[in-house]
Structure 1
Amino acid sequence: MISPSSADLRVVHALRVRGFVDTPLVAEVADMAVEEATSMLTALEAAGHARHREGRMSGWMLTSDGRAHGEALLATELDQVGCRDEVKVAYSRFLEGNQAFLGLCTDWQLRPDPADPSGEPVVNDHADAGYDSAVIGRLAETNSGIQPVCAALAAVLERFGSYGDRFATALDRISGGDLDWFTKPMIDSYHTIWFELHENLLATLGIQRSKE
């Protein structure tokens, strides 16, 4: 049975996994109306769990107390739903492919120097279509591996439900020639989604990234 998360948890967790976001994106990630998200963010700010920053880039972020509050909500959810073991297994499967994926991202950003193949790699200018095609092929294999992990998580917690489709969309865009969707920040690129899923798993299980 798929369990939905509480509205409070969804808002706090949106700030946790996205880092610094505006209200409309919080509402989108938390799957609620902007008005509801605004009200909940204001309440979190009053409780000292979130703060809003104005400026050229305005948005919301968690405070240290808010981060602890979110982790307590997540721990309670896991115990109430009774899916801790399932999430742990999915996390272990994610880690099995994590280093390979990070290496794949490096191979996308750098490539062997055509003038000195045995020397230091150079920035990939994406002029070598054959090289890029081979890396994209490896990404497709990675996608085949991560999709069952996403499905297993989505089967127990609703808030994991979007990852499979988001990965597939990013891969489709890359395969269609929009290469930014591999590693570019600030968009829903494959790397952005992967990093977010990793953070989601760490937060859900109460694991510090530095102690992983």
Structure 2
Amino acid sequence: MKDLNEQDFIVLNGVHLKKMATAEEIADAVGLDVSTVESVLGAAAGTDFLMIADGRHLLLPEGTSAVHDYYRTAYEAMRSNQVVLAWYERFETVNEQFIKQVSEWQSADGDERIQSRLIRTVERLTKNLQELIPLIPRYENYVSRFGNSVARVDHGEKDFVCKPTIDSVHNIWFEFHEDILSVIGRPRDT
């Protein structure tokens, strides 16, 4: 499993972005069936790439390195693509709004007006993601995940705004941000 193929990358990147997750959570996040995900995870568990604890999967340093190597190779052209880089710069403005809105929402104990603005910001991102999907088709999974979580928020399930243990809007946003930074080759702290 030294050199990852696309399916291996998709699954192991799902583990990388989620940090510690079950096969089912990874399958939901990456848009693959559970049996495919379990097959890749099983092969990775037999190497120094992955450990499993209580049914949850965590990448080891070699697995993280393999994921980063795949990003560097597969997305090398994206790192100088002016369309992608301009898209990312616009995203950072939206990201700042989102972070501020999440903080305000938490401070205001889930205020409906703030929540409404926050959801509109998420919807703006999902609309903007349509520009990247032709270049990075797997980003369609983020659109689906955001849609599912927003629908649950709309039905009164406020936990789907930012609860850390579920596929909340905040968690999906965080994973997407980590993903796009890896695509363009920038560290998280910039």
TM-score (norm 1): 0.76
Contact 2:104 2:114 in 1 (8 A): yes
Structure 2 unaligned segments of length 5 or more: list them: none
Please name the residue that 2:158 is paired with: 179
| Equivalent residue runs for 1:116-195 within 5 Å | 124=109, 132-195=111-174
Pairwise CA RMSD: 2.2
Taking a change above 3 Å as real, the CA distance of residues 105 and 158 of structure 1, as seen in their structure-2 partners, is same
Kindly indicate which of the two structures has a greater share of residues assigned to helix: 2
Distance of aligned partners of 1:89 and 1:49 in 2 relative to their CA distance in 1, 3 Å threshold: farther
Query: Which is further off, 17-26 or 67-76?
Result: 17-26
CA contact (8 A) 1:202 1:208 kept: yes
Question: Partners of 1:74 and 1:37 in 2: how far apart?
Answer: 19
Does residue 29 of structure 2 align to residue 29 of structure 1?
yes
> 1:46: how far off?
2.9
Amino acid corresponding to residue 37 of structure 1 in structure 2: V
- Residue 76 in structure 1 maps to residue 55 in structure 2: no
CA distance in 1, matches of 2:59, 2:123: 34
Describe how 1:7-46 pairs up with structure 2 within 5 A.
Answer: 7-46=7-46
How many residues matched? 184
| Structure 2 letter corresponding to 1:89 | A
Does structure 1 residue 200 correspond to structure 2 residue 179? yes
TM-score (norm 2): 0.84
> Which is further off, 191-200 or 90-99?
90-99
Alignment correspondent of 1:97: 94
Q: What's the secondary structure of 1:161's corresponding residue?
A: helix
User: AA paired with 2:138?
Assistant: R
The C-alpha deviation readout for 1:141-178, integer Å capped at 9, x for no partner, is 31343123321222211211122233233233323322
Q: SS of 1:193's equivalent?
A: helix
Q: Percent of counterpart pairs with the same letter?
A: 25
Match of 1:50 in 2: 50
State the shift of 1:43 in Å.
Answer: 2.4
Once the two structures are TM-superposed, the CA of residue 100 in structure 1 deviates from its matched residue by 1.7
In 2, the alpha carbon distance for the partners of 1:66 and 1:102 equals 30
Give the aligned partner of residue 65 of structure 1: 62
What stretches of structure 1 of length at least 5 have no aligned partner?
112-123, 127-131
Maintained 8 Å contact 1:11/1:30: yes
Change (3 A) 1:34 1:165: closer
